[in-house]
A and B are shown apart, each in its own frame.
Chain A
Amino acid sequence: MSPSSASPAARWDRRHLLSVADLSRDDLVELLTLSERFAEVGRRPIPKVPALRGRTVGTVFVEASTRTRLSFETAARRLSADVLSFTASSSSLTKGESLRDTVRTIEALGVDCVVVRHGCAGVPTQVARWLGDRVAVVNGGDGWHEHPTQALLDVSTLQQALAARAGVPVEEAGVEGFAGLRVAIVGDVGHSRVARSLVGLLAVLGAKVTLVAPGSLLPASLEGWPLAGVSHDLDAVLGDLDVCYLLRLQTERGAGRFLPSLREYRECFGLSAKRAARLGPDAVVLHPGPMVRGVEIAEEVCEDPRCLVLQQVETGVAVRMAVLYQLLTPGESEEVNRG
C-alpha cells in the first residue's frame, strides 16, 4: 500500500512492521540512527550486545530465501536473542499443515517476534491478524507487495553514500540529502516487492523517483504513486541520475510472455559498462540481490566502486537489528549499548 500513502503516517505503534506505510519520517530517522549505532556493534571484535537476551525471534520463510533469512537471524543473534527457524522445505507445511496451524505452533513455542516471508502478498498481514498483539510480526517480503527491511537497508546505504559524498560522518548526515535526489528504479517493477517499499520510503524523504521498465513489467496502474516520472528508455534518464537502482530480473520473465528474450532485455535495460560510464562519478548503483550478472547488470559494473551491493548486505544486518530492537523493547530506545 505504501507507494500510495498520500498523507504522512502517524507515528509507528511498534507492534508490527508490515509495510513502509507504517513508518513516519520521524520513525524512519530514528531507525536509521539506531541502525548506524548497531553498525558500530557489528565492527566490534565481539559483535554482540545483550539487548534482547531471553527473547526469541522466529523466522518463517515459506518462499526460498537464504540471504534475507540469514540476515535476520544474524541480526537477532547479535542482539543475543534466541532464534527459531522454519522453512517451507523442512517444516510440516510440506506435509499439508496449514500456514495458520504452523503459526499457532510457533506461537505455542513462545516466540516474541516472527519474521514472515511468503510468495503471496499479504501473508504477514494475515499472520499479524491471527496472532493479535501477542507476537510482533515483521514482513520479510510478501509476494510482489512489500519488503520493508530491504527498502530500509537501501535507504541506510544511500545515507552512508551521501555522507561520504558530503565528507561528513554518517551520524551527522541526517536525511536532508535525500531531498531532490534523482533515483531511477530499473526493471521488473510490476513483480517487485522491493520497488513498492522503496518508492514509499524515498517519497517520505523527498527523493525524485523515476521508474524505468518496458510496459509489460510495470504495474497495471501507477495512480497515486509518488513518482517523478516513468520511462521506457534507460538511456534517456541515465545521464541525470544520482542513484541507479537495478531490480533483479527473474529469468522466467524472459521466456516470451513478458519479454521477447533475456538478450533483448539486456540490450534495452541492462546496465552495461558503456551505460555505467554515462553515470556521474558520484552516482551509485544499488541492487537488492541476488544479481543476475550479464542480464540486468554487466560483470564489470558489479566490480565498479560505485556499485554498493556488498555494503547493502552489511547494512542489512544493522537495519534488521534496529527493527527487531524497536519492536521488542518498546520505550527503551536509549539503552542500545547497555551491558
Chain B
Amino acid sequence: MAEPRRRTTRRAPRVLVLRGGTVVDEGGARRADVVVREGRIDAVGPDLGVPGGATVLEADGCLVTPGFVDLHCHLRQPGGETAETVVSASRAAVLGGFTAVVAMPNTEPAIDQASVVREVQALAEDALCEVAVAGAITVGRAGERLAPLGEMAALGVRLFTDDGRGVQDGGVLRRALDYARGLGVTLAEHCEDEAIAGAGLMHEGVWSSRLGLPGRPAAAEEAMVARDLALLRATGGRLHLLHLSSAGSFRLLAAAKAEGLAVTAEVTPHHLALTDACLADFDPVWKVHPPLRGGADVAAAREACASGLVDALATDHAPHPPEAKEVPLDEAAPGMLGLQTAWPVALAALHDGVAPPVGLGGEPDPGSPRLDLVRLVGLLSWQPARIAGLGPEQVGTQGGPIVPGAAANLAVLDPACRWRLEAGALASLSRNSPWLGATLTGRVRHTVVAGEPVVVDGEAQR
C-alpha cells in the first residue's frame, strides 16, 4: 500500500525537539529527548541538546509515545456534515493524542464502493492526522449482497465492517469471510443480534427494569460473538470484534484465542468507565450501542484489558447534533463522542482503577486491575495500529517504535494534569460527550503528525 497522500507534511518544521519526557513504546520506558527531522525521528537519547533553528516542545513530566490509533471512529462524511466532518473529527483526534483514525463506513451513502472510498480519501488530505478508510462488507450495509471488497482493498482499505449493525445473516458473513481471506483484509463485526436486541434502548437488567426502558440483553451481543467465532473457525479468515461489552463475550473471546483463531477485539473507554445506572436521569447522552452495561460487565471488560485478552481500546467516537440527542430516548441516535476523552478515561479506568462512573464521582476501587503505562499506551497505539494494517511491520507509519528513521507520529501525554471538559474545548462539531463538565485526570499536551506539531500545549494548531 502506498503512503497516504497528505498535504500536512509541508507544514512540518525542519527540526523539532521533544525535550525532557519519558519515551514509552513497545520496548518499554526510558528518559529521553526525541529529535525529529523532515518528518522522521532523527535521534532518541538523554540530553540531546537543541540544534540551531529547531522548534522545541517541552515534555517534562510527560510520556512521549507513538501516537494513538483509533480503530473505530465515525467521521460522518459524506452525508452527516452537521454532526462532524473528516477535518473536524481529525482535529478532535489529534487533541486526543491520535495520529491515525479508521473512518467507519456507515456514512450516507455508505462507503461501500471505490468511488466513496476515494471521496473520503480526498477529504482526508486536509485532515490533521492520518485517516484510514474502512469499507462496508455489504452493499448499503444492508447485510444482503457483498460489497466490492477487492476494488476497495486495491485503494488501501484494510478493514471492512457494516458497523452500526452486524451482518445479521450468518450465511452472508460466512461468504464474506471466505472472500476476504483471499484479499488479506480483516472483517470487523458490530456484534448485536437485532432479533434479540429488538427495540431495546439500554442494557437489559436491573436498571432497565426499574426505569421501564426496553432492554438490549447482553445475550444479543454474545449470541453474535458466538456465531461469528463459529464461522471464523469454519472459514479461516481474520475477524476483529468491535466494542465488546459483556462478560459473556470476553469468555467466548478467551476460548477462541486459546484455540488459536485469528480474532482480535476492542473495548471502548466508555464501556470501561460507565454503567447502565447512568440512564437513571433519562439523558440520551448515555444511549449507545452496544449499551452501557452493569458493574460486573465493566469489571470483566477491565479484567480482559489487564489480562491481555483485549487487543485495543477504540473510541467509537459517534458525533450527533442536538436534534438527534435532545429528543425522547426512543428517537435518540445511539453514540457518544470519545476522541478527546479517551486518554484520561482509559487512564482512570485501567491505570488508576477508578470505579464507574469515571470522571463523575467514581472513587478508586481496590479490586480493579491496574495496567502499567506501557501496556495502557500499547492498547491505544501499537496494538490497534497493527489491526489497522498501519503498524511497525506493515505500512510502518503508526504505533512506533520511537527509534531513528521511524515516522514521527507522536503524542506527548501528561498523566497527572487535572482539567474540566468544557463544551468550547470540543473540536467536534457535536456536543454529545458524557464528560461535559466533568473533571478528568490526564491530558494530551502535544501531538505530532508526520513531524508537524498539530497540537501544542493542548491547543490545535490549525
Point out the residues of chain A lying under 8 angstroms from B281, CB to CB.
125, 129
The answer to whether A193 touches B212, judged by C-beta atoms less than 8 angstroms apart, is yes
Residue B208 at the chain A interface, CB threshold 8 Å: yes
Report the minimum CB–CB distance from B199 to chain A (whole Å): 11
In the complex, what residues of B have CB within 8 A of residue A146's CB?
212
Complex: A144 Cα to B202 Cα, angstroms? 14
Distance A219 CA – B208 CA, assembled complex (angstroms) = 8
* Nearest CB on B from A1, distance (A): 5
Interface flag for B154 (CB, 8 Å) = no
List residues of chain A with CB within 8 A of the CB of B461: none
- Report B-chain residues with C-beta under 8 Å of the C-beta of A273: none
| Interface presence of A288 (CB below 8 A) | no
Interface flag for B327 (CB, 8 Å): yes
Interface mask (A134-147 → B, CB under 8 Å = 1, otherwise 0): 00000000111110
Task: Report A-chain residues with C-beta under 8 Å of the C-beta of B49.
Answer: none
Q: Considering the chains assembled together, what is the distance between the CA atoms of A193 and B210 in angstroms?
A: 10
Decide if B210 touches A3 in the complex (CB within 8 Å).
yes
Whole-angstrom distance between the alpha carbons of A217 and B84 in the complex? 41
CA A142 to CA B328, docked complex, whole Å: 10
Residues of chain A in range 192-220 having any CB-CB distance to chain B below 8 Å: 193, 196, 219-220
Assess whether B326 is interfacial by the CB under 8 Å rule: yes
Give a binary string over B323-343; 1 marks a CB under 8 Å from any A CB, 0 the rest.
Answer: 100111111000000000000
Report the bound CA distance from A224 to B208 in whole Å: 12
Interface status of A180 (Cβ within 8 A of chain B): no
Which A residues are CB-close (under 8 A) to B328?
99, 118-120, 122-123, 126
**Given A122-B282, A125-B281, A220-B215, do A100 and B209 touch, yes or no (CB 8 Å)?**
no
Contact B209 A221, beta carbon cutoff 8 Å? yes
Q: Which residue from A2, A99, A125 sits with its C-beta under 8 Å from B327?
A: A99
B205 close to chain A: CB less than 8 A = yes
Check A98–B327 contact: CB distance below 8 A: yes
List the B side residues contacting A3 at CB < 8 Å. Answer: 210
Name the B residues within 8 Å of A224 (CB-CB): 206, 210
Q: Is B434 an interface residue (CB 8 A)?
A: no
- Contact partner of A126 (CB less than 8 A), chosen from B204, B215, B282, is B282
**Complex contacts, A129 vs chain B, CB 8 Å:** 281, 283
Interface size range of chain A in the complex: 20 to 34
A-chain residues with CB within 8 Å of residue B330 when the two chains form the complex = 119-120, 143
Distance (Å) between the CB of B401 and the closest chain A CB? 48
Hey, which chain A residues are within 8 Å of B331, CB to CB?
120
State how many angstroms separate the Cβ of B321 from the closest Cβ of chain A. 12
Assembly CA distance A123 to B284 (angstroms): 10
Let me know if A121 and B326 touch, CB within 8 A: no
The answer to the question of A223 belonging to the interface, with a C-beta cut-off of 8 Å to chain B, is: yes
Of B209, B215, B217, B329, the contact of A122 (CB 8 Å cutoff): B329
Contact B212 A196, beta carbon cutoff 8 Å: yes
Is B309 part of the contact surface with A, judged by Cβ < 8 Å?
A: no
**How many angstroms from the CA of A145 to the CA of B280 in the assembled complex?**
11
* B204 and A144 within 8 A (CB): no
User: Residue on B with the closest CB to A144?
Assistant: B212
Q: Does A222 lie at the interface of the complex (its beta carbon under 8 Å from any beta carbon of B)? A: yes
Q: Collect the chain B residues with CB atoms within 8 Å of residue A225's CB.
A: 210
Interface string of B107-130 (1 = CB under 8 A from A): 000000000000000000000000
CA distance A118 to B329 in the complex (A): 11
Please, which residue of chain A has its CB at the minimum distance from the CB of B209? Answer: A219
- Judged by a CB distance under 8 angstroms, whether A24 is at the interface is no
Q: A99-B327, A122-B213 are in contact. List 14 more A-B contacts (CB 8 A).
A: A98-B323, A98-B326, A120-B328, A120-B329, A122-B211, A129-B281, A144-B212, A144-B213, A220-B215, A220-B217, A221-B205, A222-B209, A223-B209, A224-B206
A-B residue pairs in contact (CB < 8 Å), sample of 6: A98-B323, A119-B330, A130-B326, A143-B213, A219-B208, A224-B206
